[in-house]
Chain A
Amino acid sequence: MTEARIFITTLLFGLLCSSILRSAQAVALADGFTINGRVKIPSELNIPSAVAGAKGFGLLGKISDVKVILNGGQRATFLRPDGYFSFHDVPAGTHLIEVAALGYFFSPIRVDVSARNPGKVQAALTENRRALKELVLEPLREEQYYEIREPFSIMSIVKSPMGLMVGFMLIVVFLMPKLMENMDPEEMRRAQEEMRSQGVPSLANFLPGATRN
């Protein structure tokens, strides 16, 4: 626990020391505030190697295509090369920030800009209600837009309709005679009689079942 705390304080100290002091703070202006934040996209991509080189995923990790949207489209901005973004002249109140980045799922962020306490911005992910210490937005997960083709296996051939057809035929040809051989002749006769006595099943029996789907 203490170790963790020390870690956090050093982290904060490091942040303070660095020249970038723009994250998660609002600067009071004439009538509006400025929301500064940062989008962080993990550099290592855990994409299966099968599709990593494919063209659709060349888009991933491209920071220049990321758009940050305030309040469902009232304003939109882009990311600077270091991932920072800002919205200027935002009135006090509760706002919603969304990140549109192809290949990643970002939770929308609820941002409270306080009027009483200028310079204070509170942020929380709306998807899981997790509060953010500072406005650093990270994707919740990566998005795969394509199904991954299963590599070829003998099972997939067997499972295909054609495979089933062949398999069924093989069973009939090779297994059925064996079964018939093993069957007791008495039993067989009994079964045949039973079938005869039941007669042809009537269509009406199936009607409720047929309507169900």
Chain B
Amino acid sequence: MAARVLSFYLLLFLSIAQLGVSLYEDQVGLMDWHQRYIGKVKHAVFHTQRSGRKRVMVSTEQNVIASLDLRHGDIFWRRVLGANDSVDGIELALGKYVISLSSAGGTLRAWNLPDGQMVWETSLQGSKPSKAFLLVPTNLKVDKDNLVLAFGGGCLVAVSSIDGEMLWKKDFAAESLEVQQVVQSPGSDVIYVLGFVGSTQFDIYQINGKNGEVIHHETSNYAGGFSRNTLIVSDDMLVALDVTGSILITVNFQGGKVRIDVKPISDLVGYYSGQVELLALRLGRMFALKAHQHIALISVTNEGKLEVAEKVNSAAAISDALPFSEGQLAVARVHHEDNKVQLTVKLGNDWSTNLLDETVKIDGQRGLVQKVFINNYIRTDRSHGFRALVVMEDHSLLLVQQGEIVWTREDGLASVLDVTTTELPVEKDGVSVSKVEQNLFDWLKGHVLKLKGTLMLATPDDMVAIQAMRLKSSEKSKMTRDHNGFRKLLIVLTQARKLYALHTGDGRIIWSLLIGSLRKSDACGHPVGLRVYPWQVPHHHAMDENPSVLVVGRCQLSQDAPGILSFVDAYTGSEIESSGPVHDVLQVIPLPFTDSTEQRLHLLIDTKQRGHLYPRSREALGIFQQKSSNIYWYSIETGNGIIRGYAIKGSCIHEDSDDFCFEPRDLWSVVFPGESEKIISTATPKLNEVVHTQAKVMAEQDLMYKYISKNLLFVATASPKASHGIGSATPEEASLVVYLIDTVTGRVFYRMTHQGCQAPVHAVFSENWVIYHYFNLRAHRYEMSVIEIYDQSRADNKDVLKLVVGKHNLTVPTSSYSRPEIVAKSQSYFFTHSVKAITVTLTAKGITSKQLLIGTIGDQVLALDKRYLDPRRSLNPSQAEKEEGVIPLTDSLPVIPQSYLTHALKVEGLRDVITVPAKLESTTLVFAYGVDLFFTRLAPSRTYDSLTEDFSYALLLLTIVALVAAIVVTWIWSERKELQEKWR
């Protein structure tokens, strides 16, 4: 009887509990944090008028245009442009607009300086791709309207800076002119357009800036041929390199007359080797030449002679020239000396004069200086001071003023490549952080305050105190492991090849490491980071050994470039060891075995499908050889439409091979017909996912066995026309086919065609189901489909009792070769939004129900209960099904605003969402990254296994006290009554 009642209450509770997660507004920041970034700065324009806020406008490689506070480095406003809309340049116009040119000169936009509101947008449709320039002449006016000149797509366009209206347009592509530079002649309305026709002819056009008419056109030839690397020096001189890159060509075009001079570079800089490069800097009557690890600064004398002003190490960065007073120019040069950074501001006209010479100490983990922008200000003693905005190798941004770093922005975190997590150290005597711990009195005081809050007795001051107390809770930011597993380290690899460890409690950076082995070297020209894997996770020696991570990188972007491996200690952030350049790395397979030091075995597959075993120890080799007959992998050749399966054949036979190299054996291949199907997306179950039960109890005590295998692969193919973006295919020519393939045998378990549907496909695979998101052209809406697979061969084994008692033969090993009979159930639903990423919650034991986490096009993360994507949903579910929690069928999935994990925040430029199980079964940790970072923790079925943060201990105490008092009072009453009875 009691159990019935209990189960009834449980059902009641479940039905009351909403299918989403929701948050009260005062809970923001309790378990989530959000960090806003902009990315690696490309251009910077200062806006420091005497009154008002001082700011700097920047554009970045993550296509962000932002306005930063020059005092603190905070973001005033920020606009994230589309993924293909990279910024070519930004300028200020009229003192109130920021003009940006983007999409290779395709789009010109003006942004309001104070608040970032877009004021106007003009599309410049050029006829062919070309370089893109933005020029805002200072004194070119037509009817009191300042002009903005933009060059892109082979056309020079003049646009009104007030409303963006196009005033004139001149097409140079028609004359097959490849425009290299556009300059304004100082003090006049004449615009010079300089370019090449073919490789030997130099053309110069003089254009009237007011109406776009050609005033003068002159050509000149140079038989040696020009390379496409040019630079404008002063107002009337262009510097170029010849095709061989060994001769410097100066083109003087004063007054429209062209004079070409040549000079071998070796005459100027002496001996050098390798590539020569002109640095794209505007230095007044100077230019910078990069040759042989040196930068030569070459000045042009008034007579047009070239002289080397200085030679500096190539690790230096030089700023553009800044005019500051009476035609004087200042140029900043930053170079490294020992572990300090030397900032020198020199007079552009006279290189020997130093305006400023400061030494700044910059953290060595920031690497070399990449870019520097300077700005001047007037000191109180009326002399000129300079501040410098410095972009470092790790993409961070620093403001240096008076020899000190005023502020720092960690903008490397805007380009996260991969994330993994590690546990924090176990609490032990030495590590204890007792200082921050509260005593009992404080604890009780806090709870009394909270109680006041719940009873609405608190004054506004109390409310503020409560909120501050909750946000600051030292519990969450401690540097030790907690019982619930909420505190972890997020190890984040960024595009700048820097590794960061972020604390999950408050998102602060614990350590950061610019990985030494992944830095530019002679052997490795353009290293890139790829992935990061947990390498060693100590359980037995958790007290005295530190976990470590493996960072996999490559020498170049191409797949067959040699790989680099780096092993980093996850607590100290130091590189333990590294190897590389080694064989190329196509795929990394973490194997489910560890050696005696708890290092996980990894098999690295190269482009020839050979496997390389790590760690390189005898012991690991022994373990691997024992298990090698059970190791399978596959490769997906997207271009050819082939998926191949492999197994280990034996040791490598080619020369210079070692014992840790293994030859592959071809097992199977699945070939998709190239003319009708193109692979567009794949998904596999997560290796670390835990599945609690293999059986699913249906209504009427029926049992279904989930088909659970980690060796399943979901593949989506689309007809070639339908594999591009929306808007290019018609429903008739689009089709989408999905497959479930066993990666051990290559058997296709399931195949389904969606007619009239197309890419993009985002899929997530978990337990025995896969959910994928695609576009339905017929309905012109997005759809999400679910496929659940069940094992029919065990279907007759329906003894629930045995299953409960654990006598069921579920522990019998299953094999992929046993040809299971599989039943798939599927259903599709409409979904409103475009999707950027889909993932699923992971919990420690897999008992908690699942939620899908969907990164929407609006850069929010939406939690959607898996029960909405149940293939058994029907219009009228039976009573039994209702009890089980089957939701009545609707054609579209609900978007419940309260279940946005990101609540009223946006994770700008969202790229991916990852989930990590906490130790507490009900809870999962969610990390979403893009240009911004967002972290929160989520309980998909509410925290049924712990008290919530809001739990009021004071109320509990109060209740107990009340109960005790009641007991005492009633006891006294009854005593008294008894006495009276007796007296009677």
A interface residue numbers (CB < 8 A to B):
29-30, 32, 34, 51, 54, 56-57, 59, 63-64, 67, 69-81, 86, 88-91, 93-96, 98, 100-103, 105, 107-108, 110, 126-127, 143-149, 151-152, 160, 162, 165-166, 169-170, 173, 201, 205-213
Residue B963, interface by CB 8 Å: yes
CB contact under 8 A between A51 and B25, given known A71-B726, A145-B903: yes
Considering the chains assembled together, what is the distance between the CA atoms of A75 and B116 in angstroms?
19
* A45 smallest CB distance to B (angstroms): 14
C-alpha gap A7/B400 in the complex (Å): 63
Instruction: State A183–B962 Cα separation when bound (angstroms).
Output: 30
A206 and B120 within 8 A (CB): no
Closest CB of chain B to A99's CB: distance in Å? 9
How far, in Å, is A191 (CB) from chain B's closest CB?
Answer: 14
Q: How far apart sit A86 and B164, CA to CA, in the bound complex (Å)?
A: 13
Closest A-chain residue to B455, C-beta based?
Answer: A152
Q: What residues of A have a CB within 8 angstroms of the CB of B962 in the complex?
A: 166
Interface size of B by Cβ–Cβ distance < 8 Å?
A: 78
- Asked if A30 and B781 sit within 8 Å, CB to CB, the answer is no
List the B side residues contacting A75 at CB < 8 Å.
82, 84-85
16 A-B pairs in the complex with CB atoms less than 8 angstroms apart = A57-B904, A59-B904, A64-B112, A69-B857, A72-B726, A94-B777, A95-B726, A95-B727, A143-B900, A144-B898, A145-B900, A152-B456, A206-B4, A208-B800, A210-B804, A213-B10
Query: What 13 additional pairs, Cβ within 8 angstroms, besides A169-B966, A173-B966, A213-B11?
Result: A73-B836, A74-B727, A78-B118, A80-B120, A95-B727, A98-B834, A101-B858, A102-B860, A145-B23, A146-B24, A147-B22, A151-B456, A211-B701
- Check B26–A212 contact: CB distance below 8 A: no
Q: A69-B834, A93-B727 are in contact. Are A64 and B117 (CB under 8 A)?
A: yes
Establish whether residues A98 and B833, one from each chain, have CB atoms under 8 Å apart when the complex forms: yes
Q: In the complex, what distance in Å separates the CA atom of A164 from the CA atom of B966?
A: 15
Are B115 and A72 in contact (CB-based, < 8 A)? no
Closest B residue to A213 by CB, please name it. B10
Cross-chain contact A206 with B859 (CB below 8 angstroms) = no
| B727 engages A96 (CB within 8 Å) | yes
**Measured CA separation A114–B123 after assembly (Å):** 21
B361-382 CB contacts (< 8 Å) to partner A: none
Complex Cα spacing A29 to B959, Å: 76
User: Out of B3, B25, B836, B966, which one reaches A209, CB within 8 Å?
Assistant: B3
Known: A96-B726, A146-B24. A79 touches B118 (CB 8 A): yes
Is B956's CB within 8 Å of the partner chain A? yes
- Chain A proximity mask over B953-970: 1 for CB below 8 Å, otherwise 0: 001101100110010001
Chain B contact surface mostly: mixed
Q: Number of A-B pairs whose CB atoms are under 8 Å?
A: 187
Question: What 0/1 pattern do residues 1 to 42 of B give for CB contact below 8 A with A?
Answer: 101100100110010000000111110100000000000000
Complex: how many Å from CA A91 to CA B727? 8
Q: Is the CB of A76 within 8 A of B81?
A: yes
Measured in the bound complex, the distance between the Cα atoms of B115 and A173 in whole Å is 66
CB closest chain-A residue, reference B11: A213
Within 8 A of A (CB), among B906-930: 906
CB distance A173 to B970 under 8 Å? yes
Query: A59-B904, A108-B781 are known contacts. Are A209 and B7 too (CB-CB below 8 A)?
Result: yes
Let me know if B897 and A144 touch, CB within 8 A. Answer: yes
Complex CA–CA separation, A71 to B727 (angstroms)? 7
The interface centre, meaning the residue of A32, A34, A144 with most chain B CB atoms within 10 A of its CB, is A144
Chain B residues lying within 8 Å of A146, measured Cβ to Cβ, are 22-25, 28, 898, 903-904
How distant is the Cα of A209 from the Cα of B84 in the complex, in angstroms? 57
Please provide the chain B residues from 477 to 493 with a CB less than 8 Å away from any CB of chain A in the complex: none
| B780 interface residue (CB < 8 Å to A) | yes
| Among all A-B residue pairs, the 3 with the closest Cβ atoms | A88-B123, A100-B858, A143-B897
B→A interface (CB under 8 Å):
1, 3-4, 7, 10-11, 14, 22-26, 28, 77, 79, 81-85, 109, 112, 115-121, 123, 125, 454-456, 697, 701, 725-728, 730, 760, 775, 777, 779-782, 800-801, 803-804, 832-834, 836, 857-860, 883-884, 892, 895, 897-898, 900, 903-904, 906, 955-956, 958-959, 962-963, 966, 970
Instruction: Name the A residues within 8 Å of B4 (CB-CB).
Output: 206, 209
A105 CB contacts on chain B under 8 angstroms: 895, 897
Complex Cα spacing A14 to B3, Å? 71
Q: Which residues of B contact A144 (CB under 8 A)?
A: 897-898
- Contacts of B900 on A, CB cut-off 8 Å? 143, 145
Q: Given the known A-B contacts A78-B79, A213-B11, are A127 and B832 also in contact in the complex, defined by CB atoms under 8 Å? A: yes
Contacts of A30 in B (CB 8 A): 125
> How distant is the Cα of A170 from the Cα of B970 in the complex, in angstroms?
10
Q: A147-B23, A209-B3 are contacts. A102–B906 as well, Cβ < 8 Å?
A: yes
Chain A residue, CB-CB nearest to B83: A73
| CB pair A212 B727 closer than 8 Å | no
Query: Contacts A73-B857, A206-B3, A211-B697 given: A110-B834 contact, CB under 8 Å?
Result: no
Closest to B729 in A: A93
Q: Give the docked Cα–Cα distance between A55 and B966 (Å).
A: 45
| Closest CB in chain B relative to A92 CB, distance in Å | 9
Chain A residues contacting B775 (CB-CB under 8 Å) are 72, 96
In the complex the two chains form, what is the Cα distance from A77 to B232 in whole Å? Answer: 33
A161, B454: Cα distance in complex, Å: 14
Expressed in whole angstroms, the minimum distance between the Cβ of B898 and any Cβ of chain A is 6
Chain B residue numbers with a CB within 8 Å of A173 are 966, 970
B117: chain A residues within 8 A (beta carbon)? 63-64, 81
Q: Min CB distance, A174 to chain B, in Å?
A: 9
